Amino acid sequence: MEAKTAVTALAALAQESRLTVFRLLVQAGSSGMAAGKIGEAAGIPPSSLSFHLKELAHAGMVTSRQEGRFVIYEANFSQAAALVAFLSDNCCGGQACDLTCAPGAGQAVERVFNVLILCTGNSARSIMAEALINTMGQGRFRAWSAGSRPTGKVNPLAIDKLRAIGYPTDGLRSKSWDEFAVPGAPQMDFVITVCDNAAGEVCPLWPGQPVSAHWGFEDPAAAEGSDEDKRRAFDKVFRLMMNHVRLFVNLPLGTLDAAALRRELDHIGQSSQ
């Protein structure tokens, strides 16, 4: 998120009525609320409410959709997560932060969400995404990676990127997704594929009930040219992945149902920032 966008979002929320409206929409989740219901709950007259909703929409903090004769308003959780990520960008060594490190922050224990990252070969992209989620998630997420046709070898350039963020690499291996489909395997909350459909790859599909999403990244292991060219390819994909993961780990998971979570993950996957 750019500073100008953050200022616009903060300015929209820096008014009591608009802040009340946004918090009501957060509570409503993916169901959203019609303007009349918002006005009743917030005690805001229709003329004023229309103005406040326009300001929040202009700032990207709310979206709307037509349902019959009603306009339903919904909090834009991706934008809210991006704003939180922007505000905490320099905290915790530049990694995603939920501000629990701040003085006086509560010590409440949060549940840990299991995430499986899939690609074809499980040698570069899925390995890097696994490490980023485990590192930036700060204990709130436990990530694994696997492949539908694993190469059996982790790309050395991927290992270099992980060492740069201090992630342990000794136990990394390219493995089949079959390991996560046997009895006793961790139950996944999220399954994310990171192969590149545009490159003609066949992305694996995961059965069952986890929230699934596709984040397409070019395969840096397929880059040609000099060693420096290949490193640049890994740098580019790693940077894009970091931005995606920062948005993901800052989502307000406790307030979103499965449909809303899937929609937010899709929004993240479509992001090129």
Contact 167, 128 (CB under 8 A): no
Beta partners for residue 67, in sequence order:
70
Q: What was the pLDDT predicted at 101?
A: 54
Q: What's the CATH code of the domain at 7?
A: 1.10.10.10
Catalytically active residues, by annotation: 119, 195, 203
Rounded Cα–Cα distance for residues 67 and 86 (Å): 33
120 and 46 within one domain = no
Boundary residue ending a domain (75, 94, 123): 75
Boundary residue ending a domain (21, 48, 75): 75
Query: What's the domain count of the chain?
Result: 2
Q: What's the CATH code of the domain at 240?
A: 3.40.50.2300
**CA proximity to 162, closest of 129, 188, 117, 120:** 129
Contact 247, 85 (CB under 8 A): yes
Q: What was the pLDDT predicted at 176?
A: 92
Contact 186, 180 (CB under 8 A): yes
Rounded Cα–Cα distance for residues 204 and 206 (Å): 7
Chain centroid to CA 136: how far?
11
195 in a structural domain: yes
249 and 200 within one domain = yes
190 in a structural domain: yes
Dump the DSSP string for 133-151.
HHHHTTTSEEEEEEESS--
Q: What was the pLDDT predicted at 202?
A: 56
What is the pLDDT tens value at each position of the chain, 273 positions in all? 788 888 999 998 999 889 999 988 888 777 788 988 898 888 888 888 998 999 999 999 999 888 888 889 998 887 888 888 777 765 554 444 555 555 444 444 467 899 999 998 999 999 999 999 998 988 889 999 999 889 999 999 999 999 888 888 888 899 998 888 888 888 889 999 998 764 455 556 666 678 888 899 999 988 999 989 999 999 999 999 999 999 999 988 878 888 888 889 988 988 754
Q: What was the pLDDT predicted at 204?
A: 60
Alpha helices for 209-257 (secondary structure H): 227-249
What residues make up the domain containing 30?
A: 3-75
- Please give the radius of gyration of the chain, using alpha carbons only, rounded to the nearest integer: 20
pTM: 0.60
Boundary residue ending a domain (75, 94, 129): 75
123 and 57 within one domain = no
Q: What was the pLDDT predicted at 107?
A: 46
Q: What was the pLDDT predicted at 183?
A: 80
For the chain, how far is it from start to end, CA to CA, in angstroms? 8
Lookup: tokens for 70: 């009603």
Q: What was the pLDDT predicted at 159?
A: 93
92 in a structural domain: no
